Amino acid sequence: MADQLAIGSRRGLKPALPLLLPAYLWLTVAIFLPLSAMVFFSFMTDLPLAGKEWSFTLGNYAVFFSQSLYSTLLFASLRLGLEVTLWCIVIGYPAAYVLAKVLKGRSREAIFLLVILPFWSNGLVRIFSWAMVLREGGILDTALNAVLPFKINIDLMYSYPAVIIGLVHSYVPYMVLTCYLTLQAIDDSLIEAGRSLGASRRQVLWRVIIPLSMPGLIAGAALIFVPVVGSFMEPRILGGRTGTFYGTVIEDQFVAVFNWPLGAALSFILLAVVLIILALAAPVLRRAG
Amino acid sequence: MATTRILEGLGRFYIVLLLGFLYLPIIIMAAMSFNASPFYQLPFEWTTDWYQSLWQNDQLIAATWNSIEIAVITTLISTVLGSMASLALYRYEFRGKKVLQALLFPPIAIPWLITGTAMLIFFFGVGIGRGFIAILLGHVALALPYVIVVVSARLQTFAPELEEAARSLGANQWQVTMRVTLPWIMPGVIAGGLFAFAVSFDQFVVSYFLSTPGQTTLPVEIYAAIRKGFTPEINAVSTIIIVVSMALMLLTARFFKFGGEK
């Protein structure tokens, strides 16, 4: 009767294995082995395919460290990630606050769903939809010229701001979601207590609300920063020639230049950066869990 | 109290602005797919020509069928394997369980660019190469963690005494699972399946690296078309995709409340 001590949870890996193996074997073949292969491959001179000479080398990493182009681009991508994350906080946090503390009942539920919905629709298509708005003679240009008394030319397409706008549009629902979850958990009586003790609205915001919602902010920041640093499709479509980032260079190694070992090394460096960021955010994420 | 009311009013207005920011480009893109001018010229002239010309675009139709086929197979495989794994993680205590749960994180957290290029290298190295099988392998792996997370969340609401009761009444393990546990977690399994379908149907990055000219998916085909130059035809097919995926998520929301009560 030992297993009745912990109802529902029984001991032993053996009976669990047949249920676990298929899923984890699949993940091994399609995720973990490929990631290991990428590391291995980044130390090779060429593809280990039939008839090709190859040997081990540190050359691919030497390229990254000797040519400033790659580190410059990695830096540009990190900056892009930081800017997009900041904009997502500025735009998303107030929205999460209104959702959590101002709206009630069914209207809150409906608007929450409306904010999250685009996030789960096709990312590529949403980026493309901005091309309709931002190009010269596009909607923004036409609308502004119809309203303004003087003629201006808005041609944001193929520029850095266009890439920022597209990425913020793609990722801001993440920030709303994570901040909403932590803001909703803050007891209203804490806010009232602060107010009745004579704190101003601003003091309550900075001393009570923001510190308590920090886990949501950090979780959202990590979930946005990481994919933005590795983005390539968004800069390609909205950035045009100005849209060269670390991600687009990796893409090039695999689909245009066919220097796979260099691509693997660049990917692995990105992976290392990403893992460091996730490791820094992990304690907070776990607490927010 | 007056200030509070003004602030609340501003808050509501802000939400409307945010929704405008989120939906306006999508609405404009959809509107342009019904505009006659191939260069997106205004004034607006209603037409459904672009949707009709989609029917003549064999390449897009082939890619669409591929996408649907891959998404359906991905859904079936990842729902079954994922539900099995969730059940094991729920039922059994063993060393290394925490590690197994943590291993679900990388496929979600690592940028698809890295996962996609790594798959390309590995599948090439072991002889699978690119194409249908490679894309399917990748999609199931990306969908599995979502299914496991969603089904596990549903399992948290399950009362284990029910399994004990069924067993003490003489049901064997298989009967307990099929007659007691599975019916209870069904909403979670369905939501997980819908998630899996969405992950696969909307997936671009991983498919992009694993596709070949003959074996591609709809998003990959759209990306190629966008880079060649925009036409209202792309708007038309994009509009269809976005309507399908949003409808799918509304359906999922019915089965699984995001972050809300269980």
pLDDT, position B7: 86
Residue reference for tokens 């020639």: A241
Put simply, the answer to whether B111 touches A12 (Cβ < 8 Å) is no
Q: Pick from A57, A90, A109: which residue ends a domain?
A: A57
- Look at residue A23 in the predicted model and tell me its pLDDT: 95
Those of residues 8-67 in B touching chain A at CB distance below 8 A are: 8, 11-12, 14-15, 18-19, 21-26, 28-29, 32, 40-42
Region A211-218: mean pLDDT is 89
Residues A114 and A23 in one domain: no
pLDDT of amino acid A36: 93
Give the model confidence (pLDDT) of B176-211 as tens digits: 888 888 888 888 898 889 889 988 998 999 999 999
Stretch among A16-25, A150-159, A214-223, B120-129 having the lowest mean pLDDT: A150-159
Residues on chain A touching B94 (C-beta within 8 angstroms) = 11-13, 16
The alpha-carbon gap from B82 to the nearest alpha carbon of chain A, in Å, equals 6
Closest chain B CA to residue A91: B18
Nearest to B29 among A123, A129, A169 (CB): A129
Report how many domains make up chain A.
2
Q: For residues A239 and A280, state if they share a domain.
A: yes
CB contact (8 A) between residue B18 and residue A37 = no
Question: In terms of domains, do A233 and A277 share one?
Answer: yes
Q: In the predicted model, what is the mean pLDDT of chain B?
A: 87
B178 at interface of A, judged by CB pairs closer than 8 A: no
Q: Is residue A2 part of a domain?
A: no
Strand A10-11 relative to strand B92-93, pairing? parallel
Q: What is the pLDDT of residue A288?
A: 55
Q: How confident is the model at residue A67 (pLDDT cuts 50, 70, 90)?
A: confident
Residues of B in contact with A27 (CB under 8 A): 103-104, 107, 141, 144-145
Interface test with A, best of B28, B33, B92, B194 (most A CBs within 10 A): B92
Domain assignment of residue A219, yes or no: yes
Residue B35 DSSP one-character state: B
Nearest-neighbour CA in chain B from A246: distance (Å)? 11
Span B26-71, pLDDT tens digits: 898 888 889 887 777 777 788 888 888 888 888 888 999 999 999 9
Query: Which residue has better confidence, B72 or A192?
Result: B72
Nearest chain B alpha carbon to A263: B117
Check residue A51 and give its pLDDT: 63
Integer angstrom CA distances of residue A80 from A226, A250, B186, B235: 11, 16, 42, 28
> Across the interface, do B29 and A250 touch by the CB < 8 Å criterion?
no
| Predicted pLDDT of residue B143 | 94
Is a pLDDT exceeding 60 seen at residue A74? yes
CB contact under 8 A, A12 and B94: yes
**What number is the average pLDDT over the span A28-47?**
90
- What's the per-residue H, E or C state across B61-74? HHHHHHHHHHHHHH
- Residue B85 at interface with chain A, using a CB cutoff of 8 Å: yes
CA A223 to chain centre: 4
What is the pTM assigned to this prediction? Answer: 0.88
pLDDT at A7: 45
Retrieve residue A140's tokens.
């923004």
Single residue among A57, A84, A107 that ends a domain in this structure: A57
Query: A52 with A111, same domain?
Result: no
Q: Is residue A217 part of a domain?
A: yes
Residue A62 falls within a domain, yes or no?
Answer: no
Mean per-residue pLDDT for A147-151? Answer: 73
- Whether B11 has a pLDDT exceeding 50, the answer reads yes
Residue A4: per-residue pLDDT: 40
Nearest to B138 among A11, A30, A120 (CB): A30
A83 lies in which domain range? 67-288
CB A173 within 8 A of CB A116: yes
For residues A283 and A287, which has the higher predicted lDDT (pLDDT)? A283
- For the cut 90, the answer to whether the pLDDT of residue A45 exceeds it is no
DSSP H stretches of helix in A98-213: 105-116, 123-134, 139-147, 160-185, 188-196, 201-204, 210-212
* Contact (CB<8Å) A122/B32: no
Give which of B4, B113, B162 to mutate to test A binding, by max A Cβ within 10 Å: B113
Could you tell me if A235 and A225 are in contact, meaning their C-beta atoms sit under 8 angstroms apart?
no
> By C-alpha distance, which of B139, B131, B73 is closest to B112?
B139
pLDDT of residue A5: 38
Q: Do A118 and B161 touch (CB under 8 A)?
A: no
What would the pLDDT profile of A90-110 be if each residue is shown by its tens digit?
Answer: 999 999 999 998 888 888 888
| Residue A7 is assigned to a structural domain of this protein | no
Are residues A49 and A169 both part of a single domain? no
What is the gyration radius of the CA atoms in chain B, in angstroms? 23
Is it the case that residue B175 has pLDDT exceeding 80?
Answer: yes
Would A262 be classed as within a structural domain?
Answer: yes
Say how far apart CA A217 and CA A55 lie, in whole Å.
46
Give yes or no: residues A141 and A190 share one domain: yes
* Phi-psi map region of A159: left, alpha, beta (phi>0 left; psi -120 to 50 alpha): beta
| Residue range A14-37: mean pLDDT, rounded | 92
| In the predicted structure, residue B123 carries a pLDDT above the cut 80 | yes
pLDDT at B120 over 60: yes
Q: How confident is the model at residue A251 (pLDDT cuts 50, 70, 90)?
A: very high
Query: At a CB cut-off of 8 Å and minimum separation 6, what does B212 contact?
Result: B130, B131
For B15, the closest chain A residue by CA position comes to A95
- Give the per-residue pLDDT at B87: 92
Shared domain for A39 and A124, answered yes or no, is: no
pLDDT of residue B1: 61
**Residue A186 belongs to a domain:** yes
Q: Residue B261: what pLDDT?
A: 42
Residue A179's pLDDT band (boundaries 50, 70, 90)? very high
Residues of A in contact with B137 (CB under 8 A): 26, 29-30
Chain B residues with beta carbon closer than 8 angstroms to that of A90: none
The pLDDT value recorded for residue A50 is: 59
The answer on A93 and A201 residing in a single domain is yes
Q: Which element (helix H / strand E) includes A98?
A: none
- The answer to whether residues A53 and A74 belong to one domain is no
Q: Are residues A40 and A137 in the same domain?
A: no
Instruction: Tell me the three state secondary structure of residue B175.
Output: helix
Q: Which residues of B touch A270 (CB under 8 A)?
A: 111, 113-114
d(CA A56, CA A41): 9
Q: pLDDT tens digit string along B207-248?
A: 999 999 888 999 999 999 888 887 888 889 889 888 888 888
Residues A27 and A117 in one domain: no
Q: A180 and B259 in contact by Cβ < 8 A?
A: yes
Count chain A–chain B contacts defined by CB atoms under 8 A: 272
CA distance B70 to chain A (A): 16
Q: With beta carbons less than 8 A apart as the criterion, state whether A96 and A176 touch.
A: yes
Q: Look at residues A6, A103, A214 and name the one whose alpha carbon lies nearest to residue B18.
A: A103
Q: Where are the domains of chain B?
A: 57-255
What's residue A6's pLDDT? 42
Instruction: For residue A236, tell me if it sits in a domain.
Output: yes
Answer yes or no: do B106 and A137 touch at CB < 8 A.
no
What is the predicted pLDDT for the residue at A223? 86
d(C-alpha B35, C-alpha B30), whole Å: 9
A47 contacts in chain B (CB < 8 Å): 124
pLDDT tens digits, one per residue of B130-160? 999 999 999 999 999 999 998 998 888 888 8
Mean pLDDT of B80-91: 93
Q: How far apart are CA A166 and CA B231, in angstroms?
A: 20
Taking CB atoms and an 8 Å cutoff, what residues of chain B touch A132? 25, 28-29, 32, 40, 235
Beta bridge partners of A56: A44
Q: Which CATH superfamily is domain B57-255 in?
A: MetI-like (1.10.3720.10)
Tokens matching residue A254 = 């695999």
Q: How much is the pLDDT for B198?
A: 86
